[in-house]
Each structure stands twice: as structure tokens, then as C-alpha cells.
Amino acid sequence: MSRARRGGFLETERLRPIIAIDGPAGAGKSIVARRLAAELGFTFVDTGAIYRAFAYVARQSGVATDDPTTLGGLASDLVREGALRFDFGAGGTRVFHLGDEITSFLRLSHIGIAASLVSAHSEVRDAFLDLQRELGSLGGTVFEGRDIGTVVFPNADVKFFLTASPQVRAERRVTELQTKGEKVSLDDTLHQVQRRDHLDSMRLVAPLRRARDAAIIDSSALTIDETVVLMAHHVRAFDFDHGES
């Protein structure tokens, strides 16, 4: 992917590009972003892990999801003290709180809902903004989240909005949770997917929405491989267009 380092990507101050992938829960963002990063030789950052880790710690600390002041203070303390450590390795994201690994708790559905609730507060988002920008300071990174192309990196080199129908996303979530030993029904999961969509897109601060310059990819009828190929093609086409101009 040598061409990715010249052409349009050099218009930014970063030496290597930032690729933003936003979209609703269960659209396959994590797996696709990880695979795309591997294909391009980039680092992958799963920003949902930051909010999930925070939701987990807030819950352990007994802080209510509707207490923005205390949540914001806790988030700032965690960032300042470096209490959360993220290992965005190729084999999956691992998260540590004060040295203890908390990875296995983060994909539980109640932590997903809690992450959605705590991440709706500007006090919490502000606390994690610089951390995310710092993670992307060198470029060469695929970021996956809800507001990467709109808020965190509005100047990202390539932006995607990856989506799929609620039914397909619920089916994928059921499969994912079942492999982790969680028993869930499709109806409940569909209801949770719709609730998360509503919470994430209706919140006042950094709501889930497509950046105007993001390419929409609907993965409902695509396999993971097909989605990655499509996106990698788009990244290369973007580079080529700018490199030629």
C-alpha cells in the first residue's frame, strides 16, 4: 500500500493517513475495520472499547449513568492518571484498568447499553477526545466509532459510514454473544439494537450521523470479505485520484 503514503494523504500534517469508520452498533465495524487495517498495514483503534471500559469502571465505582458531573470527573481522573490502558493489537483489543485486564467484561450487553448511556454526556466525551487524537497523531490508523469522521477527526483522509439493516445487525449480535456464552433471543437483541440506535443517534452531543464526506457502505447483503475488499478499493481509488491530480 505504498501509494497510500503519497498523493492526497500528504495534504494533511500527519505523515500517514487516518481512516474513519462510523456507523451503528452491529454493522460489523470492528471486524471490518480490523481487517481493513491489516490489509493496509495500519493500526486499528476501536474507540467503542474506550467507552465500554469507562462504563465498566463507572459501574464498578457505583457512579450512576445519569450523573454527568461525577462521570466527567471520573473520566478525567482516569485519563490524567493513565489508569486505563488499551492494547489495540491485531489479535483483538485488550483493555486494562489499573493493571487488571477487563477485556472479557466489555462486550457483555449490559455494558454496551451502559456505554451508550455514559457516552451521551459531553463531560465524558470531552475527557476522551484528546486521548483519541493522541492515538491518531502518527496516522497510519483506522479508527472505528460513532463520531470519528464528524468530531474526533473531521479532517480524516478517508471516511466511511458502515451500516446494515437492524434485523441483520441483531442476527450478527446474537451470533457474537452466543459464541461468548451469553444466551440471548433475537427479539430481545433486535430491541436492544434499536434502543442503542435511538440513544446513539438522538443524543445532543456528537450523535451518530454520517459525515457529509463519508462513503456509505451497506453491509446487509455483503460478507465481511466483500465489505473489506470494497472499502480497500475505495481507499486506493481515493489515493489514486488525489495522487494523479
Binding site for ligand DC (CB under 6 A): 25, 47-48, 51-52, 112, 115-116, 119, 145-147, 196, 200
User: Cβ 14 to ligand DC, closest distance in Å?
Assistant: 19
User: Cβ 119 to ligand DC, closest distance in Å?
Assistant: 3
- Rg (Cα) of the chain, in Å, rounded? 18
User: Cβ 88 to ligand DC, closest distance in Å?
Assistant: 13
What whole-number distance in Å separates Cα of residue 230 and Cα of residue 32? 11
Give me the phi and psi of 100, to 5 degrees please: -90, 135
User: Cβ 207 to ligand DC, closest distance in Å?
Assistant: 9
140/145 with CB nearer ligand DC: 145
10/165 with CB nearer ligand DC: 165
4/206 with CB nearer ligand DC: 206
35/52 with CB nearer ligand DC: 52
User: Cβ 108 to ligand DC, closest distance in Å?
Assistant: 11
123/200 with CB nearer ligand DC: 200
8/192 with CB nearer ligand DC: 192
User: Cβ 70 to ligand DC, closest distance in Å?
Assistant: 18
CB atoms near residue 51 (< 10 Å): 25
